[in-house]
């Protein structure tokens, strides 16, 4: 339960959000917006930081993961997310890697070049 680890006096509300779908696990395809809406009450108006997010490609529907990433970016902008970091790793991923691939890496690069992204 999120309330058990929520720190109400923290300046931001941090969370990890993944699309649980994998070609091997039968989990539903879930937009980032659906997951983010579940956290809105816990955040209590604080800025949101997505420490990790990820989506696996769907070999049966090419382009689906790319669109998920674009939609996730727009959702984050609309929700006032101040930072988010893609989990580009296969670690602790029994249902398949979260690594960016030939479909998702170009979209990730495209999104990084958007004017809304801080350039350090």
The structural architecture, per CATH, of the domain 10-112 is: Alpha-Beta Barrel (3.20)
Output the pLDDT for position 1. Answer: 60
The span from the CA of 92 to the CA of 59, in Å, is: 21
Output the pLDDT for position 39. Answer: 85
Question: SS3 for 78?
Answer: helix
Output the pLDDT for position 90. Answer: 95
DSSP string, 13-47: EEEEEE----TTT-PPP--HHHHHHHHHHHHTTPP
Which residues make Cβ contacts (< 8 Å) with residue 10, sequence separation at least 6? 46
Output the pLDDT for position 56. Answer: 98
* pTM recorded for the entire structure: 0.91
The span from the CA of 82 to the CA of 79, in Å, is: 9
- Helix 32-43, helix 64-79: angle, nearest 10: 20
User: With a cut of 70, which residues of the chain have pLDDT below it?
Assistant: 1-3, 119-120
Say which DSSP state 98 is in.
Answer: -
Output the pLDDT for position 5. Answer: 76
């Amino acid at each position: 339960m999120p309330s058990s680890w929520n720190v109400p006096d923290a300046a931001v509300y941090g969370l990890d959000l993944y699309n649980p779908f994998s070609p091997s696990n039968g989990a539903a395809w879930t937009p980032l917006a659906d997951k983010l809406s579940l956290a809105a009450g816990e955040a209590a108006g604080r800025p949101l930081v997505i420490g990790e997010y990820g989506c696996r490609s769907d070999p049966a529907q090419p382009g689906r993961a790319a669109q998920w990433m674009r939609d996730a970016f727009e959702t984050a902008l609309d929700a006032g997310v101040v930072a988010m970091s893609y989990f580009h790793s296969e670690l602790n991923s029994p249902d398949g890697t979260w690594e960016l691939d030939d479909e998702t890496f170009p979209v990730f690069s495209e999104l990084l070049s958007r004017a809304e992204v801080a350039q350090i």
